[in-house]
Structure 1
Amino acid sequence: MSAALFVIDIQNDLATDPGTRVPHAERITAVGESILRTARAALEKETLGGIVFVQHEEVPEDGTLVRGSEPWKLVFEPRAGASQERLVHKSTRDTFASNSDLASELKASGISHIIAFGIQSECCVESTCNGALNAGFEVTLLSGAHSTYHNAEKTAEDIEREVEDRLQMRGAQVVQWTEAVIMWEKGSQIRPQQ
């Protein structure tokens, strides 16, 4: 069994632009740097099977994440020549719905477990986790490493917790991102709960 880390929609519009980024964008980018540093070391030790960078795109009438634009660009990108790192584009919240061959391609390469983090918790992160569950993958969401915008009734933190609760009810596990980093540093795999 091997796992793939999904880095979901950490794009300039959501993560770096002071006028449009989520309130906890600085936390997500700082945490993302730490996660990716240790995940890339785990790739070398073969305790992680791959990293999938997910990039959302929209048509101009629907939003600012237009292919080729500055808001659309990723904060973290696959390394050139790194065969275990790949980029996938999507136009729906669920990465698997936008990429109909992705699940079978991952399974063919030995991936059975998806570990996810990114932006926005209740949109593309939750939808992609649900898509992975529906496709038969084990799923782990990294707590503290996903976030969203506040809304009229709830803070971003409240929404983060609700997403974690909903995914746990569906059979996903939630692990603190710091625990994942420690496990990778020790040369261990993050295993789904039994």
Structure 2
Amino acid sequence: MAAALFVIDIQNDLATDPSSKIPHASRIRSSGEKIISAARAALQAQENNTASRLKTIIFVQHEEAPENGTMVRGSDPWKLVFEPIPGEATERLVPKWTRDTFDSNPGLAAELKASEIDEIIAFGIQSECCVESTCSGALAAGFTVTLLSGAHSTYDSDGKPADVIEREVEERLSSQGVKVVSWEEIVAGWA
């Protein structure tokens, strides 16, 4: 069986725009760059018959109607910081309109399972919104789920700093059966 890496909503509005980015955007961009680079190397090595469970990278892109927010299809805030390589069979873009990627794409779970994928490895933005909802959706769809600690974050909210919210999300997901692993440990395993 195999794993899919989900890169969730690392978009300009949340990760690069000085007026709207999350407080830890630079950490997410930096860890994301390293994770994706290592994943691409692992996928390339797999083509040369070395062992890696990683089978695909899925770039998740949130979009909303103009009256609901800034991430309108085609706009600069909507654009991804990291994009799939055009024509690369092991990478793909998956749009979504709800917090849970699987809810927005009802056939996605069956499609991944048909490709022998049984694990979802997730990171991105926002921890308590789309990251948590997609992890829960993947669990509900029958996948093993791994959340990459240190590679997801959000806004400060309700008097709590973002890093406290990150830990709370990790605790909630862990109690549901999600494995929480540092992104560095996953990357080292792919090397």
**What is the TM-score when the length of structure 2 is the normalising length?**
0.96
| Aligned match for 2:172, one of 162, 166, 174 | 166
Q: CA deviation at 1:174?
A: 0.3
For the pair 1:76 / 2:62, whether they are aligned, the reply is no
Which residue of the partner structure matches residue 116 of structure 2? 110
Which residue of the partner structure matches residue 127 of structure 1? 133
Q: CA deviation at 1:45?
A: 2.5
Paired AA for residue 156 in structure 1: A
Distance in 2 (CA, whole Å) between partners of 1:8 and 1:81 is 20
| Aligned match for 2:162, one of 133, 156, 175 | 156
**Structure 2: which 5+ runs fail to align?**
47-51
Paired AA for residue 150 in structure 1: D
Cα RMSD for the two superposed structures: 0.6
Give aligned-pair identity as a percent: 68
For the pair 1:54 / 2:54, whether they are aligned, the reply is no
Q: CA deviation at 1:151?
A: 1.1
Q: CA deviation at 1:7?
A: 0.1
Q: CA deviation at 1:81?
A: 1.2
Stretch of structure 1 that moved more, 139-148 or 41-50: 41-50
Could you list the per-position Cα deviations for residues 124-162 of structure 1 after superposition, in whole angstroms to 9, with x for gaps in the alignment?
000000000000000000000000000132110000000
Give the secondary structure class of the aligned counterpart of 2:10: coil
Distance in 1 (CA, whole Å) between partners of 2:35 and 2:89 is 19
Paired AA for residue 24 in structure 1: H
| Aligned match for 2:145, one of 139, 163, 173 | 139
Distance in 2 (CA, whole Å) between partners of 1:4 and 1:30 is 20
Aligned length in residues:
185
Could you list the per-position Cα deviations for residues 92-144 of structure 1 after superposition, in whole angstroms to 9, with x for gaps in the alignment?
00000000000000000110000000000000000000000000000000000
Distance in 1 (CA, whole Å) between partners of 2:157 and 2:61 is 24
Q: CA deviation at 1:22?
A: 0.2
Give the secondary structure class of the aligned counterpart of 1:174: strand
1:9-88 paired onto structure 2 within 5 Å: 9-46=9-46, 47=52, 48-88=54-94
Paired AA for residue 32 in structure 2: G
Q: CA deviation at 1:89?
A: 0.3
Q: CA deviation at 1:76?
A: 0.3
Paired AA for residue 19 in structure 1: S
Distance in 2 (CA, whole Å) between partners of 1:51 and 1:70 is 23
Distance in 2 (CA, whole Å) between partners of 1:106 and 1:169 is 25
Segments of 4+ moved more than 2 angstroms: none
**Structure 1: which 5+ runs fail to align?**
186-194
Which residue of the partner structure matches residue 187 of structure 2? 181
Distance in 2 (CA, whole Å) between partners of 1:57 and 1:152 is 25
